[in-house]
Amino acid sequence: MDNLPNDIMRYVCTFFEPIDVSRSLINRKLASQADLFYASIVSLCLIDQNEIDDVLRKCTGLIHLKTDKIPDCPMTKLKKLNAYRIILNERSTRIISQLALEEITIQLKIVAADITPVLSNINTIHAAVTSSELKKFDSIPFTSLIISNDDQHSELCRINPTKLKHLDLFHFDGFPRNLNLSEMSLESLDITCAVDDPMFSLFDLSLVAHMPLKKLSINNEVVKIPYISSLRSLYLTNCTVNLSELNTLNLDNLKLVCCQTAGVLSNTKHLELHETDFIEHKDLNLKSLDMQHIYNHDLSMFTELEFLHVGGGRLAIESLPLTITALDLNELLVTTESMRHIARMPLRSLKLCSCGIKGQDLALISHLKLHTLDITDNDIDFEYLGLLRNMKLQTFKYGLKNDLFLLKMN
């Protein structure tokens, strides 16, 4: 990347988010020629930047754009636009109408122009709107919709259910009485109750039991979930839940954040626990476990575990199952004996951050076929890195948190 023209380096460092840049960024043959480089970009994120028109005029192959400013320049190939932070005035509405968009993400809270005719020509629409403003857009066939309740006394208007797959109800004290749930076929539902301290159930989830729901997120609620045959992912935050009642569901993913639990869980493949005590379980065949803290819990019974992340506490590493392929430990003591046990795992990704590992113990893992190794903040002398010289790593992190050395190999 050192040989790139100055203007490319300036835009690369200023504008591009790595997750949003196409693979052509690392194609040095294209990158050595500015015009070809810009023309090869298909996905771009421009946030909090000025004078973006000049950049976009060069990006003639752009298909996906995320921005907080609508540029007034030709974008003939653009199909997806994320303009969530843009005020929809006459100028921005006119520019959007000139694009051949297939998908758009917008916020309908501040609208100073008639956007309805423009949206009627776009196939996939993701939007956020307040409950009081929703009536202005009741004819639009949204694909996903976030509704924030800004008037507890107003009636929610009917929502066009034709294409609606994802619905987010924020700060409601139950399903609005006139919400046409019976007409919807949602795949994802996110509920945030208006009550911060859940004492009883406010949402009657039997009203959505007929839907082909795959993902359900609930915040601030006493959870009572009916049987939903299609449900695979359940995310609960600040909820009270009886885990035994979840065992009738065919869950693949369960996430509990700041939850009060009772009962025994026996049915999920992937479990996340954050600020939630380790749960009671029986016959639980986990594939992955993500915990913020752990205190001497025995994980040896999870004989099919493939991914483990623990963010602090105490863990008997020597008892971990030898099925783990991705191990991520943070602020846990990893001794030489622990490293010997880790070395027996079929690991592809290993992250041991702030774990007090010894430099000489790196020799114990030098035979592993890792693609990712992170040994940040372990106070390991640079000379010990020679023990890893035969590893074919794609990503390697080493050093202290404030002086991090990051190497990505492609």
Alpha carbon separation from 366 to 27, 362, 376, 381, 405 (Å, rounded): 30, 6, 17, 16, 19
Q: Which pLDDT score, from 0 to 100, does residue 150 have? A: 86
Long-range Cβ pairs for the range 16-20 (8 Å, 24+): 16/44, 16/45, 17/45, 20/44, 20/45, 20/64, 20/66
Q: Which pLDDT score, from 0 to 100, does residue 36 have? A: 67
Q: Which pLDDT score, from 0 to 100, does residue 285 have? A: 92
Residues with Cβ < 8 Å from 334, sequence gap 6 or more?
317, 342, 352, 355, 356, 357
Residue 54 three-state SS? helix
One-letter amino acid at 233 equals S
Q: Which pLDDT score, from 0 to 100, does residue 403 have? A: 58
Q: Which DSSP helix (H) or strand (E) runs through 220? A: none
Rounded Cα distance between 378 and 306, Å, is 25
Q: How far apart are the first and last CA of the chain?
A: 13
DSSP, res 387: G
Q: Which pLDDT score, from 0 to 100, does residue 44 have? A: 84
Q: Which pLDDT score, from 0 to 100, does residue 200 have? A: 63
Per-position pLDDT tens, the chain of length 410: 444 444 444 444 444 444 444 444 444 444 455 666 777 788 888 776 666 777 778 788 889 998 888 888 888 899 999 988 888 889 889 999 999 999 999 998 778 778 999 998 999 999 999 988 888 888 999 999 999 998 766 677 789 999 999 999 998 888 888 889 999 999 999 999 887 666 666 789 999 999 999 999 999 888 888 999 999 999 999 999 999 999 999 999 999 999 999 999 999 999 999 988 888 888 899 999 999 877 777 889 999 999 999 998 888 899 999 999 999 999 999 999 999 999 999 999 999 999 999 999 999 999 999 999 999 999 898 889 999 988 999 999 987 655 555 555 44
Q: Which pLDDT score, from 0 to 100, does residue 12 have? A: 43
Q: Which pLDDT score, from 0 to 100, does residue 100 have? A: 93
The pairing of beta strand 144-148 with beta strand 166-172: parallel
